[in-house]
Amino acid sequence: MKSASRIMLPALATLLLSVAFSNTSLATRNLARADEASRPAAPPLPEPAPRPPLHPRIDALIEARLNGVTVAPQSDDAEFLRRVYLDLAGRIPTAMEAREFLADSTPDKRERLVDGLLSGPEYPRRMRELFHAMLLERRGDNDEWTVFLRNAFEQNLPWHLIARAILKPDENDEQLRGAAFFMTQRLVSEGAMAPVDVPGLTRDVARLLAGIDLECAQCHNHLTISHYLQRDFQGLHMIFENVKTRNDLKFPAVSEGVLSEKKEFKSVFEQVAMKTGPLIPGGEEVSIPTFEKGQEYLVEPDRKARMPGVPKFSPLEELSERLASPQNDLFTRNIVNRLWWVMMGRGLVEPLDLHHADNPPSHPELLDLLASEFAASSFNIRWLVRELTLSKTYQRTTRLLYTSAAEQPHESYAIGLEKRLSPEQLFWSLITATGDLERHRQRLAKEGKASLNSEAVVEQTPDLKSLKRAMIDTFANPPKEPEVDFAPSVKGALFLMHEDQILRLLKPQTGNLIERATSQSDDDTVRELCLCVLTREPADDELATLTDYLKQNADRRDEAIANLTWALLTSTEFVVNH
């Protein structure tokens, strides 16, 4: 990894870069980096050659560290199907999609399904929902931010450009300017007694984009992690102390002040004055250029227009280019570790934001490989997700099919690991299972609104829109808490048990699951419910028990079917991605 040659940006990325950064600020950058000023500008290179498949190498490195642990078999088709829909489309498959896949006997059907999902309309939505929760941690939402994430994932924008849009938002780029919400929402005052939490912003940038949690290094060097220094925190913090939310624009945007001096700080323990300039996580200190008084600005502030002005020296720009860079190990390792965690259920480095030398990855060679290959792919998220999905490691069953299986260490990846469903995945899966998404799609089509995508259907159906909001409120973690662990709540249980919006889904309606089930034989009803909700056939004894239940309650069949459906929808098998 360290020896990886300098990776050039592909043509597309370079183009976007020049949109994101004005020529004037590029000139400033040369001033700021005297050491690099003599280096000739790199000519844009063509798109890198297609990468050789990564997934066999992933599997080889996982197997190399099994240490005799027995490997679980690959998932069966039904298990794989459900998992891959949840991970790549953000929902379970419909019964029709399931039947089609299960009946397909061609050998490459898994790969074709993966490619179909990755190029489908739901993959960008799923990624947007995933990264929204990961980056904003339920601090709120904003239309411009949504536009930014939508564009980012619909265009498969390289990860370093996503990160740069966040770190140095460009208010002139309508496609991506909403990325500023990452900063502005963290710079909101939470009341008269609470100062704006700039240290919190510093911490989050380091945690989420560099995988290091510097919280404890704000006031002194970290006590237990020798690699996290107070200087790291202070050098990053001074960049954000210089940032203000712009209030002259109607969308989220930030401005920077003039930064002309190093920052002085003291450890609370030693009280010795130290100094640092802007410091890039995983990188170096940025030298601060000096300008004659009155020459600091490219664009002078305009008080009348409430325009804050544009200084020649932009620490945010330095940060965005030097952190979000293929040369920055922390940056590349953080993102591949997070994507690995999303797909595999456990980070190679755990916790996700504690990368340091004394907390090594479970598979160091694999983390290095993923990082260097991801950088070499020019940070192509869709490509990496595809490779992870195609690995045997991803496709292993979560079932304990042999006696010692439950004792296998999680970090061996010998058995598939279960994953928490996000509130969004739960919502989309619920309305997929009950048929309400399809039912309303058809209703809207009859009203002349043909072929709406799922989001538009929800947006135009007040019941579903309200249910989505309620489910995110109920099942999301509180603001500022990463959604990492499976954390079912009493609130969630009571919501599923008693909330009218849930119970309504269990009444027969034209085209929904309950209505379909009521008109079938007992056997077919049970099969239909199992397939629609759990994406599998009922086992023989299960089928016998459940048809018996329906038979005994033939006089109140609608109620019995509703009960059965509720139980399926709230079962652990449904609310977990396995």
Binding site for other proteins (CB under 8 A): 193-194, 215-216, 222-224, 351, 398-401, 406, 418, 477-478, 481, 485-495, 497-500, 503, 539, 542, 545, 549, 559-560, 562-564, 566-568, 570-573, 575-576, 578
Cα 530 from chain centroid (whole Å)? 30
Q: How far is the CB of 573 from other proteins (least distance, A)?
A: 4
Residue 93: cis peptide before it, omega within 30 degrees of 0: no
Beta bridge partners of 359: 356
Nearer to other proteins, 59 or 79 (CB): 79
Nearer to other proteins, 130 or 506 (CB): 506
Closest CB to other proteins among residues 9, 217:
217
Q: Residue 247: is it exposed, middle or buried by C-beta count within 10 angstroms (0-12/13-18/19+)?
A: exposed
Find the shortest distance in angstroms from Cβ 209 to other proteins: 22
Q: Shortest gap between Cβ of 232 and other proteins (angstroms)? A: 15
Q: Is 414 helix (H, G, I), strand (E, B) or coil?
A: coil
Q: How far is the CB of 216 from other proteins (least distance, A)?
A: 4
Q: What is the DSSP letter of 282?
A: T
CB-nearer residue toward other proteins: 314 or 337? 337
Nearer to other proteins, 118 or 531 (CB): 531
Distance CA 418, CA 487 (A): 13
Please report how close the Cβ of residue 570 comes to other proteins at its closest, in angstroms.
Answer: 5
Concatenated DSSP letters of 107-151? TTHHHHHHHHHHTSSHHHHHHHHHHHHHHHTTS---HHHHHHHHH
CB of 271 to other proteins, least distance (A): 16
In 3D space, the residue among 438, 391, 390, 435 whose CA is nearest the CA of residue 413 turns out to be: 391
Q: How far is the CB of 404 from other proteins (least distance, A)?
A: 13
Separation in Å, CA 438 to CA 16, 82, 289, 390, 570: 38, 18, 60, 29, 21
CA distance 59 to 107: 20
Contact 478, 140 (CB under 8 A): no
- Closer residue to other proteins in complex, CB, 365/499: 499
Q: Among residues 540, 511, 506, which one has the least CA distance to residue 526? A: 540
Closer residue to other proteins (CB): 50 or 478: 478
Cβ at position 542, least distance to other proteins in Å: 7
Q: How far is the CB of 193 from other proteins (least distance, A)?
A: 4
| 471 in Cβ contact with 505 (< 8 Å) | no
Q: Whose Cβ is closer to other proteins: residue 275's or residue 507's?
A: 507
- What letter represents residue 422's amino acid? S
Instruction: State the nearest-atom distance from the C-beta of 220 to other proteins, in Å.
Output: 9
Helix H segments across 399-482? 423-433, 436-446, 454-459, 462-475
Annotate 346-363 with b (16+ C-beta within 10 A) or e (fewer): ebbbbebbbbbeeeebbb
Q: Which is nearer to other proteins, 8 or 216 (CB)?
A: 216
Helix (H) and strand (E) counts in the chain: 29, 8
Nearer to other proteins, 106 or 403 (CB): 403
